[in-house]
Structure 1
């Protein structure tokens, strides 16, 4: 495509000598991005870029607050049911454009519009909304935080640990989030130039959001955004009406269309039924096909084969009088085999991403010039003819509004001191030196997560949190409240690495839309503060409205709560409390998860090996057939 565009450009200059003369007159501003034949920044050249303070408007944060409340309910609903949270960057950018564009259009017609709506302001809205709604996930309301509660503790494997719990409270949850949610922002700020400009990491979600915002603010983009919002409203209305219809015909558990016995009543006992929930349909449409196939195969393997077979060993492998929800019975096999597969998959990908991160860092540092300063970063990029006009302009503005390093270091040290002094009062089991050790390693892990997210668009925040569970749990031990200490440490680690990757991804969006890093940092701070208030309030509404929240078979089972609790128990108590042969099965499925991941990567990275094998076998059969 680049070769074709260059050739067509040359032909056009030969046919039109005036354009060639104009291009020579402009000198370095030759007008086109030679890498793809289209300069985005040329389209917006006449608009100008507002200062970073003018990008932070009241209407932007008013719209951000409204969208944050809506997105918090969406994320919390998914968090408490499926545990699968899709990316909301594009949705935030789209809805932010729609609301503010409607607002400005009304003011323009009335003659009251003073400040036009720019793509930089749109980026500020998107950053604020994603930061706020991200707290609904990293806050642990469906994982480590709810795993501390009494409802999950009573489902414990060990009855002795059933009294170790801390029930949710709106006050301490809000305070905990305010203490731990801002540290990751200061940890990654000094590295923004390295990530975005020096290493040129792609950050696919941030890049896609930036292209969407840029397209919205062109004359043709407004029409496209209007069509997308119209389609969004259509399917939103359909989903809402369908959910109301289902609720109208649901009288209790297992009633109505929630668990429709499509495959028969016997299959319904083993969870084979058709669920008409639009939520699961929507998540299935977002997830890649390989995830949907994996869920189907996992359901057939577990509920169709394994659990019925293990159920026949009742009285031999586990006590026959254990309830179906007891972790010493069949439920123990279900939870810990799932944990073993999650750990196998998570650790494999953790080390894979960590290896790619270290390898990428090595190659990036090796390939850099001996001066350790890239031409694009030393202020002379505007005179470098090898750099496109878009990159020149974006780099110049990205480096213009510097965030002082001393501010990031001072903020990190201050929050570390506050957290070290405050968290032990919230969780007496979490000693101050545990927190200090976490904060010593947090910048390195936050950088690894942000760098890996830039390469793969995959944040491993939950994996780093699980790693903290086992490290702090083993350090504290069961006798010193290791369960609550490890779960609290998981929350500290998850919030640090999650906000670090989110902010860096937003920096990438701002780099492509010419939004100032200062305005994005301020927007991220305000959005995080919003999330620290909105998310606990939304969770509290769910917690008070549904008395069976977190219990097996309820409308909101919080599946990750028991998983994180079991991890904490396993980290501090060992494996002596597991049912018979459960550990052996866990070893087998842990190894199977590692092997399957390795085989998938082997086939994906080097498919010619398989193709050569198949082609050789086919050629032998063809030769044999022709010879006969």
Structure 2
């Protein structure tokens, strides 16, 4: 995730434009404070410590811990992928848990007299990089979007059932291995330009570096110990709460997740609190405006629009069509959500690209004035105006070079293997489509990495949607354009997503004195882990929950149907939409653009304007999770009012504990489902009239 990493992302499986809003006032205030602290000189605090060589930063214990944490975070991200698609930044959790595990390990060895190498912030950075790279594959792998959108289950819910490819562990792992590494090699030669010459901020990478630096000071270590205790406490509570709830979910629509907390009529329109600890935690991490936007989207759609459109049954669409039929009301839900996503995505794409090109123009002009060419392998001249920290960081950042020929040779070799392999996995994706993608991809990877450095916005999913429409239209319906578009989306998303993630990690390494070589190697190892762990975790979900992907199930995978229908639109056009659906799509597409314009026009006051992309999420699956998230926001708000310092210090740990506990409960729940163990009780709620009928029936 540039999550996180996921880089750090607050993302859905179809959009990452919420990244910037993740860094709303809360992050900007902390960032400005951290920048002031930075001026006091961080590196002087650590100047008495020897910086280990890049090989010594890559320790066996770091990768053992990374592997364990990768499994944990892949389960969390996969559950979020397949439920609502909102994925918060998990970098804090990765850095904190990595610090805790290795610190415990080294303390034990130290007492035993067996400690050979102390735990350093560089090793901590390696762990964080590896974990985020691994769990990032759970996002860019498309398990809740383009990849699962190829399946027969999703095809049967779409307007085109002619072309599908069901998931299989073998081809998914092969696909990820041939597409997930290209982005890493595409931007390696640009590391000095982006980090040293252009001094791009990469807010997520910078925030992660400050976090890791603080852990390794005496005061930070004490706070980290308290944060870990808090995380562990709420992890246990969340896990046990998930276990307790399981007993009451014998069949669909049973248990606490079917509790009509706002009344039965509201429940029928998916307004209820479903007691999900994971989304209470997500609500505590996500900015307030995201949670409010999701709730507003739910009120607009399920509270106003869908009840009104249902009154048009028989006029706008045929009577008696099932809830999941796209020729009925489901068509309005899916395609209006797509219109909002595309409107918001197109606006932000143009905005970030414009910002990127304008910033690049000014950077190049400044370099020309200085008569310094930004060559990747060029050593930085001594600059007496640089601070001690900058001099130290630049010196070590340029010490361990990654030769440009390695990057070029790696990209060409992997591209050749991929071009030869992908048509065997997806016969619809011709070799010449792939070559065109790989010729264009390095430029787009640079644009995404540069734009992410300026704005913290990763547009990987937007580039993926461009690939859906261009390759899908090029292939056409007769040549399997739907699957070709979805596969091309996966290729493009993986390249541009890993490129921006790697550059975020280079920035983190620059600020923690971790070697670029160790960053690059740990990113490759983490990506390798992710290419195996993420498909395996998805396979557990796929086999354990037979109703995976259905809109009424526990795991509806909402963006799978949305991505598939985007591919269908790209190939077939709008002819199959219900009456007036296209008009409403135009209105909401335009509304998304206008809202974004208004938001930017207002400047700082625009932070109170809702986000169209976030509003689109509940249009398809309902607003129930938004209520959970708003409860998380309310808890955080009250906590900040009572004791802001304590809330700032411990709220991320509490939220991470809630997310991790509920997320990891899905592992034993999946195992129980696989071995055929079913919950013993169904807790269901009936109206008084329905209860009388049931009593009479049973009485007879």
Q: TM-score, normalised by structure 1?
A: 0.89
Q: Is residue 149 from structure 1 mapped to residue 151 from structure 2 by the alignment?
A: yes
Q: How does 1:452-531 map to 2 (within 5 A)?
A: 452-531=451-530
User: 1:472/1:374 Cα in 2 relative to 1: closer, same or farther (>3 Å)?
Assistant: closer
The answer on whether the counterparts of 1:52 and 1:519 sit within 8 Å (CA) in structure 2 is: yes
**What is the CA-CA distance between 1:119 and the residue it aligns to?**
0.9
Q: What residue is the counterpart of 1:93 in the other structure? A: 95
The answer on whether the counterparts of 1:375 and 1:381 sit within 8 Å (CA) in structure 2 is: no
Q: What residue is the counterpart of 1:626 in the other structure? A: none
Q: What residue is the counterpart of 2:401 in the other structure? A: 402
Which of residues 26, 36, 42 in structure 1 aligns to 2:44? 42
Q: What residue is the counterpart of 1:313 in the other structure? A: 312
Q: What residue is the counterpart of 2:222 in the other structure? A: 223
**What is the CA-CA distance between 1:249 and the residue it aligns to?**
2.4
Q: How does 1:286-301 map to 2 (within 5 A)?
A: 286-301=285-300
Higher alpha-carbon deviation: 523-532 or 254-263: 254-263
Whole-angstrom CA distance in 2 between matches of 1:343 and 1:589: 10
**What is the CA-CA distance between 1:430 and the residue it aligns to?**
0.2
Q: Is residue 591 from structure 1 mapped to residue 590 from structure 2 by the alignment?
A: yes
Whole-angstrom CA distance in 2 between matches of 1:373 and 1:358: 18
The answer on whether the counterparts of 1:270 and 1:303 sit within 8 Å (CA) in structure 2 is: yes
Give 3-state SS (helix, strand or coil) of 1:40's partner: coil
User: 1:414/1:376 Cα in 2 relative to 1: closer, same or farther (>3 Å)?
Assistant: closer
**What is the CA-CA distance between 1:44 and the residue it aligns to?**
1.2
Structure 2: which 5+ runs fail to align?
A: 1-34, 610-700
User: 1:54/1:35 Cα in 2 relative to 1: closer, same or farther (>3 Å)?
Assistant: closer
Q: What residue is the counterpart of 1:625 in the other structure? A: none
Q: Is residue 204 from structure 1 mapped to residue 214 from structure 2 by the alignment?
A: no
Q: What residue is the counterpart of 2:57 in the other structure? A: 55
User: 1:97/1:355 Cα in 2 relative to 1: closer, same or farther (>3 Å)?
Assistant: same
User: CA offsets, 1:495-522, max 9 Å, x none?
Assistant: 0000001000000000001000011101
Q: What residue is the counterpart of 2:123 in the other structure? A: 121
The answer on whether the counterparts of 1:71 and 1:133 sit within 8 Å (CA) in structure 2 is: yes
Higher alpha-carbon deviation: 355-364 or 211-220: 211-220
User: CA offsets, 1:266-295, max 9 Å, x none?
Assistant: 221111222211111111111111111111
Whole-angstrom CA distance in 1 between matches of 2:83 and 2:254: 18
Q: How does 1:93-112 map to 2 (within 5 A)?
A: 93-112=95-114
Whole-angstrom CA distance in 2 between matches of 1:599 and 1:34: 32
User: CA offsets, 1:314-355, max 9 Å, x none?
Assistant: 111111131110011110010000000000011111111111
Q: TM-score, normalised by structure 2?
A: 0.80
Whole-angstrom CA distance in 1 between matches of 2:99 and 2:46: 17
Structure 1: which 5+ runs fail to align?
A: 1-32, 611-628
User: CA offsets, 1:237-266, max 9 Å, x none?
Assistant: 111122122222223222221132122212
User: CA offsets, 1:176-220, max 9 Å, x none?
Assistant: 000000000000101111110111111111111111111111222
**What is the CA-CA distance between 1:399 and the residue it aligns to?**
0.5
Whole-angstrom CA distance in 1 between matches of 2:545 and 2:411: 39
Whole-angstrom CA distance in 1 between matches of 2:457 and 2:46: 31
The answer on whether the counterparts of 1:482 and 1:572 sit within 8 Å (CA) in structure 2 is: yes
Whole-angstrom CA distance in 2 between matches of 1:108 and 1:606: 53
User: CA offsets, 1:76-103, max 9 Å, x none?
Assistant: 0111111011122222111111111111
User: 1:154/1:581 Cα in 2 relative to 1: closer, same or farther (>3 Å)?
Assistant: same
Q: How does 1:575-614 map to 2 (within 5 A)?
A: 575-604=574-603
The answer on whether the counterparts of 1:318 and 1:580 sit within 8 Å (CA) in structure 2 is: yes
The answer on whether the counterparts of 1:376 and 1:392 sit within 8 Å (CA) in structure 2 is: no
Q: What residue is the counterpart of 1:371 in the other structure? A: 371
The answer on whether the counterparts of 1:139 and 1:177 sit within 8 Å (CA) in structure 2 is: yes
**What is the CA-CA distance between 1:372 and the residue it aligns to?**
2.1
Q: What residue is the counterpart of 1:620 in the other structure? A: none
Whole-angstrom CA distance in 2 between matches of 1:583 and 1:391: 55
**What is the CA-CA distance between 1:123 and the residue it aligns to?**
0.7
The answer on whether the counterparts of 1:468 and 1:486 sit within 8 Å (CA) in structure 2 is: yes
Give 3-state SS (helix, strand or coil) of 1:489's partner: helix
User: 1:365/1:111 Cα in 2 relative to 1: closer, same or farther (>3 Å)?
Assistant: same
**What is the CA-CA distance between 1:460 and the residue it aligns to?**
1.1
Q: What residue is the counterpart of 2:276 in the other structure? A: 277
Q: What residue is the counterpart of 1:250 in the other structure? A: 249
Q: How does 1:174-189 map to 2 (within 5 A)?
A: 174-189=173-188
**What is the CA-CA distance between 1:379 and the residue it aligns to?**
4.7
The answer on whether the counterparts of 1:89 and 1:206 sit within 8 Å (CA) in structure 2 is: no
Q: What residue is the counterpart of 2:85 in the other structure? A: 83
How many residue pairs align between the two structures?
572
Q: How does 1:21-32 map to 2 (within 5 A)?
A: none
Structure with the greater alpha carbon radius of gyration: 1
Whole-angstrom CA distance in 1 between matches of 2:39 and 2:79: 44
The answer on whether the counterparts of 2:191 and 2:376 sit within 8 Å (CA) in structure 1 is: no
Q: Is residue 64 from structure 1 mapped to residue 66 from structure 2 by the alignment?
A: yes
**What is the CA-CA distance between 1:163 and the residue it aligns to?**
3.0
Q: Aligned Cα RMSD in Å?
A: 1.8
User: 1:143/1:248 Cα in 2 relative to 1: closer, same or farther (>3 Å)?
Assistant: same
Whole-angstrom CA distance in 2 between matches of 1:557 and 1:37: 48
**What is the CA-CA distance between 1:164 and the residue it aligns to?**
0.9
Whole-angstrom CA distance in 2 between matches of 1:39 and 1:323: 64
Give 3-state SS (helix, strand or coil) of 2:549's partner: coil
Higher alpha-carbon deviation: 262-271 or 433-442: 262-271
